[in-house]
């Protein structure tokens, strides 16, 4: 693949669609799109205004466009990039200037207690206002629902204690009334924790 790399030298502008199965080095300019089963290198003085679908991308220059890489995207210190990046590995060096969204794909398996976080999420969706205000930072907030989870777990435990006592009806009513504020308090506590 790298035997005779395709090179776009400085002073050359390629506009349109580029396809292929080898590496490309850009020292000039590319406008349009690049769909490649290979690697793309964007030199410090190069400018790429294109959507990219490649294996690996290394940017030292200017790139405007969305990138999907099957392996890695690296923004070097001199890179100036605007656009969304999607790749299993995204490396941003100190000094690189970048604006956009990065998607490294399914990272759930690497978050400890991820399953709990999801369960907590499902329960917290009962309070609609909160869940609706949440979807965007959901990943960052994922660990937070966990403290909320033991709270509902305690409630049935407390209920079980008075329920085990012989005189059920009266204490049950008495319990129910204070329990509601208790539950409300717990919810409020949970709210504070979440916020």
Partner 1 sequence: MANTVIGNSIVIDGEITGDEALVVQGTVKGRIALEESVFVENSATLEADVEADSVEISGVVTGNITAGTRVEIKADGKMVGDVKSPRILIADGALFKGNIDMDVER
With contacts defined by CB under 8 A, how many residues of the chain interact with partner 1?
Answer: 22
Return d(Cα 59, Cα 185) in angstroms, integer.
53
Min CB(46)–partner 1 separation in Å? 12
88 binds partner 1 (CB under 8 A): no
Roughly how many angstroms between the first and final C-alpha of the chain, as a whole number? Answer: 52
Return d(Cα 39, Cα 25) in angstroms, integer.
8
For residues 85 and 105, the answer to whether their CB atoms sit within 8 Å is: no
32 binds partner 1 (CB under 8 A): yes
157 binds partner 1 (CB under 8 A): no
Return d(Cα 190, Cα 187) in angstroms, integer.
5
Please state at what angle helix 150-164 crosses helix 169-194, rounded to 10 degrees.
Answer: 170
42 binds partner 1 (CB under 8 A): no
Residues in the chain: 195
20 binds partner 1 (CB under 8 A): yes
70 binds partner 1 (CB under 8 A): no
12 binds partner 1 (CB under 8 A): yes
83 binds partner 1 (CB under 8 A): no
Q: Long-range contacts of range 15-18, CB-CB < 8 Å, 24 or more positions apart?
A: 18/50
Of 28, 65, 120, 145, which lies in the binding site for partner 1, with binding defined by CB under 8 A? 28
Contact region with partner 1 (CB under 8 A), list: 20-28, 69-77, 97-105, 167-175: 20-28
40 binds partner 1 (CB under 8 A): no
CA dihedral 182, 184, 188, 190 (to 10 degrees): 70
102 binds partner 1 (CB under 8 A): no
Min CB(38)–partner 1 separation in Å? 8
Residues near partner 1, by CB under 8 A: 4-22, 24, 28, 32
């Amino acid at each position: 693949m790298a035997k005779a790399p395709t090179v776009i030298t400085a002073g050359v502008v390629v506009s349109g669609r580029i396809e292929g199965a080898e590496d490309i080095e850009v020292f000039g300019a590319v406008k349009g799109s690049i769909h490649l089963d290979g690697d793309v290198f964007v030199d410090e003085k190069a400018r790429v205004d294109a959507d990219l679908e490649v294996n690996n991308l290394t940017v030292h220059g200017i790139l405007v466009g969305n990138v999907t890489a099957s392996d890695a995207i690296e923004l070097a210190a001199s890179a100036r990039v605007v656009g969304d990046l999607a790749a299993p590995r995204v490396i941003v060096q100190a000094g690189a200037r970048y604006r956009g969204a990065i998607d490294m794909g399914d990272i759930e398996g690497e978050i400890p207690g991820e399953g709990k976080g999801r369960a907590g999420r499902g329960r917290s969706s009962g309070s609609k206002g909160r869940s609706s205000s949440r979807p965007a930072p959901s990943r960052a907030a994922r660990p937070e629902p966990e403290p909320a989870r033991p709270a509902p777990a305690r409630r049935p435990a407390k209920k079980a204690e008075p329920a085990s006592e012989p005189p059920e009806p009266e204490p049950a009513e008495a319990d129910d009334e204070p329990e509601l504020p208790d539950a409300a308090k717990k919810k409020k506590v949970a709210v504070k924790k979440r916020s």
